[in-house]
Amino acid sequence: MNRPLDHISEAILRKKNEQSLFIIAHYYQRDEIQDIADFVGDSYAMALAARNSSSETILVAGVDFMAETAAILCPGRTVLSPEPAATCPMANSITAEYIVDFKKKHPNSMVVTYVNTPADVKAVSDVCCTSSNAEKIIRKLPADREIYFIPDQNLAANVAKKLGRSLESYPSACPIHDRLEAEEIARLKEMHPGALLLVHPECKPEVIAMADYAGSTAGILDYVTKSEAHDFIIGTECGILHPILKVSPDKNLIMASEELICPNMKSITLEKILNSIENRETIITVLEDIRVKAALALEKMIELAS
């Protein structure tokens, strides 16, 4: 028999008080998971929170590459994933072998890798980035070097246009954000003429061109909460509605599509988190030679983004 969610939340909070445990969650997690987390943020903020935590155990409520990132940045500590099968199709579209082969053929290129990638891909990259800092990082890279951006073609195209710099990209995209079409957005804007359109930079360039603001999940949250506007069309995963409404309950939020739901993020539940804590499952490990190399790319990101 399933226990009520509030009883499970209370059990998780008791466990946290009994041990050195730090729970980090992505904005795309279920509302009740965000509410019991010690930290909620986007992938970049989650990486920093993990690295800066002093807890012996870090539980990552997010997809697999997020837990791997915590394990890379936190050697000597235990990183738990409540659902190791939660993954990212875009991240899984590219392999380390592909990057190694590309670098052999293009020795003058710098490989800029989105954090939405496996640890072994990060390990053969020059620097990592997130949607919140990609523009800032690429702006700081040598102008005479070719940039190969992996694996999100939409983010690459949007950053390239903003910077006026040519970026070669790997042909892959987020299956959630890539669903948004300009025609669909145009209809919504007609239905809600006063609403501001806020979208994630993983969306298609033609959708970005229609937006009042394009930025990371954290950027969208910050924009809404600081804006004097009342109505917003939100073009990112639906989990972001919860933290926005906690801070700004008076805002009217209109989802750009009912399909903006990440099934992998939503596969994590409170029950799985409690089980993970009680049974120490599943511990995420990264081979040390891969971890050290991947950490260099992640620390380079943090350095350039600061």
pLDDT digit string, tens, across residues 167-191: 999 999 999 999 999 999 999 999 9
Residue 131 tokens read as: 């949607």
Q: What architecture does CATH give domain 91-174+293-305?
A: 3-Layer(aba) Sandwich (3.40)
Answer whether 0.85 is exceeded by the pTM. yes
Question: Strand locations in 4-118, DSSP E?
Answer: 21-26, 39-41, 57-61, 78-80, 109-114
Kindly indicate the confidence band of residue 5, based on its pLDDT and cuts at 50, 70 and 90.
confident
Asked if the domains at 5-86+265-287 and 177-261 fall in one CATH topology, the answer is: yes
Position 2 pLDDT exceeds 90? no
Domain residue spans of the chain: 5-86+265-287, 91-174+293-305, 177-261
According to CATH, the topology of domain 177-261 is: Rossmann fold (3.40.50)
| Rounded mean pLDDT, 293-298 | 97
Position 107 pLDDT exceeds 90? yes
Place of tokens 């980090």: 24
Q: Say whether domain 5-86+265-287 belongs to CATH 3.40.50.10800.
A: yes
The CA distances from residue 249 to 48, 140, 224, 244, 246, in Å, are 28, 38, 11, 7, 6
Residue 302 tokens read as: 């943090």
